[in-house]
């Protein structure tokens, strides 16, 4: 049986949602595009001792949050080194990731970025097909 999740006060959830601009800190999908509320991600998972405090919370889409699970580190496919996953609260997305030329895939630019792309399965076939549709509609990739 898994431990109970901590309660997140509504005011804290609202602050984190505003700070993250109502979009996933990993793949940048917005709540508006998803048509549903994002999950709150414990950057350091509760199972690993992460606290339910503003500094450890960010929004994540259900897909990224579920693939992340309790992971905090993963292997960089280029170097084989075990590295910390991307931290959307403290790291700049554009320093670690870029969009492919057609806007359908997330490219890891750094060891952290590459490991996060793999660990969170950010380019799985289902989401790439969906992104292709979003691109054709002019909704994707997100503009900073």
Quick: pLDDT tens for 30-51: 999 999 999 999 999 999 999 9
The pLDDT score that the predictor gives to residue 7 is 86
The angle subtended at Cα 58 by Cα 82 and Cα 42, nearest 5°, is 60
The pLDDT score that the predictor gives to residue 126 is 95
The pLDDT score that the predictor gives to residue 143 is 80
Of 5-14, 89-98, 105-114, 132-141, where does mean pLDDT reach its minimum? 5-14
Query: How many beta carbons lie within 10 A of that of residue 134, not counting itself?
Result: 17
The pLDDT score that the predictor gives to residue 1 is 38
120 in Cβ contact with 26 (< 8 Å): yes
Query: How, if at all, do strands 39-42 and 73-75 pair?
Result: unpaired
Does 3 score more than 90 pLDDT? no
The pLDDT score that the predictor gives to residue 23 is 96
Q: What global pTM score does this model have? A: 0.93
Mean pLDDT in residue range 44-60: 95
The pLDDT score that the predictor gives to residue 5 is 67
Count of H helices and E strands in the chain? 6, 6
Mean pLDDT in residue range 101-129: 97
The pLDDT score that the predictor gives to residue 11 is 96
Both structure tokens of 63: 């897909």
Task: Determine the 3-state secondary structure of 55 from DSSP.
Answer: helix
CA distance 24 to 26: 5
The total number of residues written for the chain in this structure: 144
């Amino acid at each position: 049986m898994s431990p109970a999740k901590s309660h997140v006060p509504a005011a804290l959830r609202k602050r984190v949602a505003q700070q993250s601009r109502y979009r996933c800190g990993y793949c940048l999908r917005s709540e508006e595009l998803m048509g549903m509320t994002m999950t709150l991600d414990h950057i350091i998972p509760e199972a690993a001792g992460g606290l339910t405090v503003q500094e450890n919370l960010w929004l994540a889409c259900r897909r990224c949050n579920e693939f992340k699970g309790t992971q905090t580190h993963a292997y960089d496919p280029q170097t084989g080194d075990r590295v910390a996953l991307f931290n959307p609260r403290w790291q700049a997305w554009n320093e670690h990731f870029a969009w492919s030329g057609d806007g359908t895939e997330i490219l890891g630019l750094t060891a952290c970025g590459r490991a996060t792309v793999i660990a969170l399965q950010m380019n799985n076939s289902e989401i790439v097909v969906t992104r292709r549709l979003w691109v054709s509609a002019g909704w994707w990739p997100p503009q900073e």
